[in-house]
Structure 1
Amino acid sequence: MQAVWPSPHEWPEVARRMCNDSLRLLQRRMIDEIGRLKLELDKHDERVNAVRDWQKKSLDCLVELRSYMSYKMDPQIMKTYEFIQEQGTIPEKIYEVLYHRAAKADTLLGEINKCSTSLLSCSSEAYTEINYQLIVSLTQAVDGYFEQKPELPAMPEGDPLPFSSEEIWNGIVMAGSHRTMFLPFLKNLPPLSPCSSPGLSVRSLRLKLNYTSSFGSFGTDMGQFSEPAGICVGKDGLIAVTDTKNNRVQVFDSIGCLKLTFGFSDVPGGGLMYPNCVAYCRLTDRYIVTERTPVHQAQIFSADGRFIKKFGQDLLQFPRGVCVDKDGTIIIIECKVMRINLFDRDGNLIRRFTNPSVLNFPISVCCNDNQQIFIADNRRHCIVVFDYNGRFLRTMCDNGSISFPIAIAITSVGEIFVADNHQSFNMSFFTQNGEPLRVYESRNRHLHCLAAVVQNDSRVILSTKDYRIYTYDCK
């Protein structure tokens, strides 16, 4: 069929139609592209969440690796240090072996000379079988002496360490993390630099953190502070803070919303005066609050802030740290007289003891389920441990791992948490035997750290003299 071409007068209309078709095609293409781009843009939040999730997992992995290094490097370095020190005793050991062998040889020679002199001084008729047996015995003794060749300790030679620094480093990385993201870096890891000190301090491997949240300000209104001197975690994760100069305790939820205030002087019998420390008893669902000068006592309040009773008026002097064990036993330490007091759940004295030879300025206290009391001593820069009968058990962290501790607590997994305020705010975690686990340092400079507590196993809550409460995530 032959094509019909438009006549000349139809060309403008044909051109217009062609242009319209082309424009509609272009419009459709751009509309489809914009739709596709909008769909991709709608995935922005999904991408952000995915990247944040990846970052969190990656940082958790990095923290895991760093924590493992903190935990493993000290024992490894100390083991190597002990090995090096042991090598220094090798010459003495060699000398001792050779000295005893020379002494034994000298004794045998004396017996031989004695027998020889005896034989020379007697006639041939005087030779008896006894003399013959003596010579046989001496011969056997000399033969035995030369057969017993002592093994001398080998002198150190070759590499200064029993294993290379690269082996230590790669071993720690491989053992500390099974994440494949670290594997590409193993072959490029730098060797460890030579150690000039006997051990590697966990403090030198501390991670630096920023606080995750904060709340509070200076003032007398609800939710404000004049001196947040004490802090504890109560039921359902509520945070109780002693507002010392406002003579009250304020209770907040985990994000800093005020839930309860108690201790006002207009409450019959239950007005607080300069409360400084607070603890929560899970068994009785009560708060125990200590009060400093001039009252020197403690008070018990219900979880809803209702006054229950006072105790310790005639017993306590400068009460400071307070904690409660799983059976409701209340433990209060007196900082200036260095005394530990144990009360039952109702505030009746069970026993009290002191030990000035090991205590200097006890500032905070916690206890475990085995009736062991852990006391942070601010001036001895260590943790002192007693049992409930007052028997001194041990000191911990007295190797420079903490300085000027301000708080101690036990985490939900049984680790010892210690906060110190030397140069910066430091958060250290140890086993109950004092072995270091991990250390964190705040990147934020706080005016003055007053108290700290750990929630669950890793959330640290800090009160400071800038009238604020800060939280840190030490995962």
Structure 2
Amino acid sequence: MNSFNISRKRPFGSPDKENVWPSMLGIEINDTCIAKKQPRLALGSVIIDKNFLHSIPYSPPEHFYIKPVDPWSPVKNDSVQLIPKLDHRTPPNRSDTRFKNGSLRQILKWTRSIGEYGDGNNAFREPNSVAWLDCGKIAVVDTNAHCIKMFDSESGQFQFSFGRGRTLGCQNLLYPYRLAVVPDGNDQLVVIQRHPRPQIHIFSCQGEFIRRFGQHLEKPRALTVDKSHRILVIESQIQKLHIFSLYGQILSVFSFEQHLQFPTSICSNNSEIFISDNHLHSIKVFSYTGQVIREIKEDIYIQFPTNIKLNSKGQLIIIDNHQGLNITVYDENQQKKRLGAYTARICHSQILDVTIQTNTNILHLASKDYRVYTYQLPL
């Protein structure tokens, strides 16, 4: 027996053979792609002794320090110029733009964030939707917590939550999923409950229950409310569009099985309906009579769209999650001109929903990492 009592277990930190290339393991691949076993290499030419076996693991130096980020705290101004000046005499700064998925995108950095995983007032269990209210509040749907949480958009301070428990005459919300604000409607909130009992709830901006309807819905995926206070709901898997009045009357129902495969988001300019399709890599535009008007498709810029929004100018903002956050903006004239393409400095896990502040290009994005991020578009 070895007097040093050496363990037969694999040393800590050794590479996993399933996750590295053969060349990293000391294995050569010949022309017939047959691996050859190589003799095990010694660790340099040192002599293994007791000191080596009982060596202290690596620890960072004393000056090493990771600065924590406070929730919803403004960060220092990024050195990246959001609108770089064109200067043909000097090459562009590599930190300003990034060539990604075949397209050149401008790099943006989030300015504020809020949230973490948990059950506290400033924490989320699954922030599936977010909406900005004209009164200066941000509403976040926390699906697994069965409630909607309200925050001040300037300070990020939690104000109140509703939907969980029989408060203010409202029955329990059960897994609320998507949220929209009624334009010029005293900030009334329209909430879709998706599973296991799909229906639509209407609340005041103070969380007071008003009404509910839409119990015939099957797979509601996304919704929007246009300027005429019509509620548009698109269903996934069955590709149906439902149009309701604010009081729950069914105005129209259309089947888009021939035009859509996997709808993910919907918005409207009060005369046209925009629906993003993740599998078709495009945005389909329909009339309020259910007719296809046109398709917005650009392969290297619109790849896997998940969210779409129209700003106050009518410009279309497209969000996709292909290898991180990508934002593409098209003009208001039938979206024939691309105005900008952006990407995030950090790689978000997944963007679940997006809202835009009225008369600004400030985006609030709910992410799968249990946070809400704020971005300023340079338009």
Q: TM-score, normalised by structure 2?
A: 0.72
**Cα deviation digits, residues 67-97 of structure 1 (max 9, x gap):** xxxxxxxxxxxxxxxxxxxxxxxxxxxxxxx
Counterpart selection for 1:214 from 113, 119, 122: 113
Determine if contact 2:127/2:366 at 8 Å carries over to the other structure.
yes
Aligned to 2:103: 204
Measure the CA separation in 2 of the matches of 1:60 and 1:437: 14
Distance 2:106 2:82 in 1: 12
User: 1:308 aligned to 2:210?
Assistant: yes
**1:259 CA drift (Å):** 2.1
Partner of 1:59: 81
Secondary structure of residue in 1 paired with 2:195: coil
Residues 1:270 and 2:270 are matched in the alignment: no
**1:446: how far off?**
1.6
Is residue 2:280 matched to residue 1:377? no
Identify, as 1 or 2, the structure richer in strand. 2
Q: Partners in 1 of 2:101 and 2:329 — Cα distance?
A: 10
Whether the 8 Å contact between 2:112 and 2:374 is mirrored in structure 1 is: yes
CA–CA distance in 1 between the matches of 2:266 and 2:260? 13
Q: CA deviation at 1:361?
A: 0.9
Scaled by the length of structure 1, what TM-score is found? 0.58
Partner of 1:365: 266
How far is the alpha carbon of 1:60 from its aligned partner? 5.1
Q: What is aligned with 1:427?
A: 327
* Bigger Rg over Cα: 1
Amino acid at match of 1:338: Q
Deviations 1:292-347 (A, max 9, x none): 12111110001111001111002x11112111111111111111211111111112
Instruction: Quote the residue 1:471 is aligned against.
Output: 374
| C-alpha contact 1:417 1:454 (8 A) present in aligned 2 | no
1:349-376 Cα shifts (integer Å, max 9, x gaps): 101102212101111111003x110011
Give, in whole Å, the separation in 1 of the partners of 2:319 and 2:135: 23
Query: Residue 281 in 1 paired to residue 150 in 2?
Result: no
1:341 and 1:237 map into 2 onto residues whose CA distance is: 30
**Corresponding residue number in structure 2 for 1:133:** none
- What is the root-mean-square deviation in Å for CA atoms of aligned residues? 2.4
Q: From the superposition, tell whether residues 203 and 412 of structure 1 become closer, same or farther in structure 2 (CA, over 3 Å).
A: farther
Point out where structure 1 has 5 or more consecutive residues left out of the alignment. 1-51, 66-172, 174-184, 191-199
- Matched residue count: 291
CA displacement 1:238-260 (0-9 Å, x = unmatched): 21111000000111122321123
Distance 1:206 1:237 in 2: 31
Paired letter, 1:405 = P
Q: Identity rate of aligned residues, in percent?
A: 33
Structure 1 distance, partners of 2:148, 2:189, is 10
SS at match of 1:245: helix
Q: For the Cα contact (< 8 Å) 1:202–1:436, is it kept in 2?
A: no
- Structure with bigger helix share is 1
Q: State the alpha-carbon separation in 2 of the partners of residues 259 and 250 from structure 1.
A: 8
Query: Following the alignment from structure 2 to structure 1, what is the Cα–Cα distance between the partners of residues 123 and 313?
Result: 33
Structure 2 CA distance for partners of 1:202 and 1:439, relative to 1, 3 Å: farther
Task: Name the CA distance, whole Å, in 2 between partners of 1:342 and 1:357.
Answer: 19
Residue equivalent to 1:460: 363
Q: Which amino acid aligns with 1:322?
A: L
How many angstroms apart in 1 are the aligned matches of 2:193 and 2:233? 11
Q: 1:210-264: per-residue Cα shift (whole Å, max 9, x none)? A: 2111111111222211100011111233211110000001111223211231111
Question: Structure 1 residues 59 and 447 mapped into 2: Cα distance closer, same or farther (>3 Å)?
Answer: closer
Distance in 2, Cα, partners of 1:466 & 1:222: 16
Deviation for aligned residue 1:203: 6.4
CA displacement 1:154-184 (0-9 Å, x = unmatched): xxxxxxxxxxxxxxxxxxx5xxxxxxxxxxx
Aligned residue identity for 1:279: A
Aligned partners of 2:170, 2:374: CA distance in 1, in Å?
Answer: 34
Q: Is the 8 A contact 1:408 1:453 kept in 2?
A: no
Moved beyond 4 Å, runs of 4+ = 200-203
Q: Which amino acid in structure 2 is aligned with residue 395 of structure 1?
A: E
Aligned CA distance change for structure 1 residues 413 and 201 (closer, same or farther; 3 Å): farther
The whole-number CA distance in structure 2 between the counterparts of 1:390 and 1:397 is 20
